[in-house]
Amino acid sequence: MNKTTQDIISQLSELILGKEEQIRLAVVCLLCKGHLLIEDLPGMGKTTLSHGLANVLGLSYQRVQFTSDLLPADITGSSVFNTSQQSFDFHPGPIFSQVLLADEINRASPKTQSALLEAMEERQVTVDGKTHPLPEPFFVIATQNPLHQSGTHPLPESQLDRFFLRISLGYPDEHAEKSLILGNNLQRQSLSELTCVLDLNALATLQQAVLDVNLSDSIVQYIINLVNFTRYSGQFSDPLSPRASIALGLATRAYALTQSRDYALPDDVQAVFAAVAGHRLNISANELDDVVKGIFDNVAVVL
């Protein structure tokens, strides 16, 4: 079982060089049945990662490029009048797939964004009063450009925590970049060459295994202390909610699982904290490292 997660991560690492940690977090997000938000500048490999992830998992995959003129119906689907049967037929949109890549989500209008975020939360789509359940598993990978880019609409703050994790890939290191340059044209090919290592049953088993990871009392206390720090230190205008605490606990377990452990360590908490808390605290990706370090310095690890 641990081998499968290792396998996913190593395969994707060959695809996106030098980003093992981010890939691991993406897998964590998947194991926790959460949705992933990738925030980065264009050309950092966001799309490659999400596409690769879908391939490796062997899941049905749809990609939607969000633009300012994209309407909610373009995602959810719409009812079309069928002249032969004299009735409305529902034509499902791209959201009816197991993995949905919502590219550059913040280019779309708030209305469209809301439609997507709502579907993510409820795992169903309601069109013309009829409810259509979304497939299982349903995994949204959204990418967004940093907010200061022109022509972007920020995601509504209150709905940001529909995303379980937010990661950013960042620039590759020199060594990785060198390899990229040399093997650049190989990359697209290898995306299709990725072997599917997981079927639906195996994924369900893995997701179940996350809950079996031991979260000792001290880890739970550490999580509580971290969350409380954001609430009571007065440094944060949007402190972490109880939902964030739950997410932190779950992500910690999943992270421990990807490390082939059946118990969580404080290091696991620290590893997932930035990804879980960053967007919920409303901190932009480039400030995040400093803020998180400040939190860790202030909150002692509970042993």
Q: Compare residues 99 and 250 and give the one whose CB is closer to other proteins.
A: 250
| Subset of residues 121 to 140 that bind other proteins, contact rule: CB under 8 A | none
* Calpha distance 51→10 (Å, rounded): 15
Residues 6+ apart with CB under 8 A from 267: none
Min dist CB 297 to other proteins, Å, is 8
Between CA 137 and CA 98 the distance in angstroms is: 6
Which residue, 42 or 154, has its beta carbon nearer to other proteins? 154
The CA-to-CA distance between both ends of the chain, in Å, stands at 29
Each residue 211-250 as x (binds other proteins by CB under 8 A) or -, in order, gives ---x-x-xx--------x---x-x----------------
Contacts of 273 (CB under 8 A, 6+ apart): 226, 248, 292, 295, 296
Distance in Å, CB of 16 to other proteins, minimum: 25
Residues in the chain: 303
Among 14, 69, 122, 287, binds other proteins (CB under 8 A): 69
Q: Look at residue 130 and give its three-state secondary structure.
A: strand
For other proteins, which is the closer residue by CB, 161 or 268?
268
Q: How far is the CB of 268 from other proteins (least distance, A)?
A: 9
Cis preceding linkage at 94, omega within 30:
no
Among residues 14, 177, 199, 267, the one that binds other proteins under rule CB under 8 A = 267
C-beta of residue 100 within 8 angstroms of C-beta of residue 93: no
262, 287, 289, 290: residue in contact with other proteins (rule CB under 8 A): 262
What's the min distance (Å) between Cβ of 265 and other proteins? 6
**SS3 assignment, position 260:** coil
Q: How far is the CB of 82 from other proteins (least distance, A)?
A: 29
Q: Is 264 a residue that touches other proteins (CB under 8 A)?
A: yes
Binding residues with other proteins: total (CB under 8 A):
24
- If one asks whether residue 301 binds other proteins (CB under 8 A), the answer comes out as yes
Contact between 153 and other proteins by CB under 8 A: the answer reads: yes
Q: Is 173 exposed, middle or buried (0-12, 13-18, 19+ CB in 10 A)?
A: exposed
Nearest Cα to 53, choosing from 29, 27, 32, 35?
Answer: 27
Binding site for other proteins (CB under 8 A): 68-69, 109-111, 153, 214, 216, 218-219, 228, 232, 234, 262-267, 270, 296, 300-301, 303
